[in-house]
Each structure stands twice: as C-alpha cells, then as structure tokens.
Amino acid sequence: MKLTLMRSLTAAAVLVSTAAFAQSDPAPSTALPSAPSSAAAPAAALGSGTGSKLGTINVENAIFGSNEGQRDLEALSKKLEPKRNDLKAQNDAVDALKKQLSTQGSSMNEDAKGNLTRQIEQKQKALERAAQDAQEDFQNQQQEIGSRIFQKMGPIILKYATDNALGVIIDTSNPWPNGPVLWAGPSVDITKPVVEAYNAQSGVPAPVRPAGGAATGTRPSGVGTTKPSTPATKPPTTQAPPK
C-alpha cells in the first residue's frame, strides 16, 4: 500500500506545487491556491523562494498524524468494524473445526476425517479471500484519504520551505534500504511544524481520546490482517494454504 500511496501523493505534489509557488501573497490562506495566470509566474515565484538548506518530512506521518487524518481514519475503522467482526467469526469457526480435527481425528474413520479436513480447507480459503478483499478495500479507502489531505497539505509544505529557506525536502516515509535516506537527524525534520500548520488551517480539532488511549498518529492496521493458521492435521495430499 505504501508504494501505491506514495505514487499517488507524488502526483498530487506535482499538481499543487505549481499553484503554490504562483501565490503572490506569502500569508497562509484557508483556500487552496489558485492556478497560475501565466506560464512565467511559477518560475518567478520559485526563483524568489529558493534556499540552500535541506529538510526532511515523513509524509505519511504528517498526513495521518494530522487531526483530519486521525479523524477520517477513525471513521474508516468504525465503518469497517462489521467486516472485521465477520472475519473474526469466520476465523473462530475455522479454529473450532481445526480443534475438532486435532482432538477427535484419531478416533474418526477415514471418510469422516477426510470430510472434516476438506471442510476446514474450504472455509479457510474462503476466509483468506475475504480477508484479502477486505484489506484491499481498506487500503484503497486509506489511500483516498491520504491523497485528499495531501492535496491541501502540499501548499503548506511548500510555503514552509520558502519561509525557512529550504532548497530540498526529502520524504522519509520509506525507511532505508527501501527509501533513499540512510539517516537524518531530528533537527532537519519538518513533519511536526507542518502538521501544526495544517491543523491550524484545517480547523479540525484534535481527536478526543480516553486516558491511556492510542497515541496520536496511530493508524488502524485494516481488516483481515491476521492470517489464519494451517490445519493441525491434514491428509498427505493436501497442500498448504496460499501465503
């Protein structure tokens, strides 16, 4: 999901960067920046705001750590709760059949044992397909949330870069070796101030959490993420379920 999200956010960054650099008024605005009036406008604005310093930002943490990101992901998690409960019920049913096979298999005749084993396999495969579909649905909706928020966060990142003379901003969402950054100190990380600026502009209040609740920025892991275990006992011809 992360690679797909990053591709989408990169495309969004291209869209918002031109508009953001075209603003003549450096003051923050609650509205999205308007499109440039001429082809020369972005280049002129960019030339006046270039810097030499480097900054890093964890784009995913910025998006899903914002008040709006947390709010929308919590809403998504509640929306998918029925599916999560259904998958748990299916998993419990498969586990019960596995336990039956493990405890009673030695006393069953071959036909009964084979029928029970096939039933376990069928239900487990159906569960795995349902879990995969549910997880993909969660990831798609999560990506939509991320792309929508980044469309509005992009100009804030670019304004922060201009105001603080940053010449380069590197995304650290993907840790090394999958990402390009081997190490970066906290002094160059602009994630927190960007989130604070975005929260101020969005007007979305911080989520109210009970004492000892999850830390801010914690994302739900989706639905159907627990992979069912393989049957405890199976005939020699039975292949292991797909991983």
- Asked whether residue 43 is domain-assigned, the answer is no
Domain residue limits at 127: 48-202
- Residue-level pLDDT at 52: 83
- Asked whether residue 221 is domain-assigned, the answer is no
- Asked whether residue 89 is domain-assigned, the answer is yes
Distance set, CA 175 to CA 52, 61, 180, 191 (Å):
24, 13, 8, 15
Q: For 108, phi and psi rounded to 5 degrees?
A: -85, 155
Residues in the chain, pLDDT under 50: 1-48, 215-220, 225-243
Answer positive or negative: Cα dihedral of 60, 64, 67, 72.
positive
As a whole number of Å, the end-to-end CA separation of the chain is 18
- Residue-level pLDDT at 208: 85
- Residue-level pLDDT at 37: 29
- Asked whether residue 8 is domain-assigned, the answer is no
- Asked whether residue 147 is domain-assigned, the answer is yes
Structure tokens at 178: 């999958």
- Residue-level pLDDT at 54: 94
| Close Cβ partners of 232 (under 8 Å, ≥ 6 residues apart) | 98, 99, 101, 102
Peptide bond into 207 cis (omega under 30): no
CA–CA distance, 218 with 234 (Å, rounded to integer): 40
Distance set, CA 133 to CA 84, 113, 241 (Å):
12, 30, 17
- Residue-level pLDDT at 203: 94
Structure tokens at 236: 């020699």
Bridge partners for 189 per DSSP:
56
- Asked whether residue 9 is domain-assigned, the answer is no
Whether the model pTM is above 0.85: no
- Residue-level pLDDT at 212: 60
- Residue-level pLDDT at 135: 96
- Asked whether residue 99 is domain-assigned, the answer is yes
- Residue-level pLDDT at 232: 40
Q: Total domain count for the chain?
A: 1
- Asked whether residue 228 is domain-assigned, the answer is no
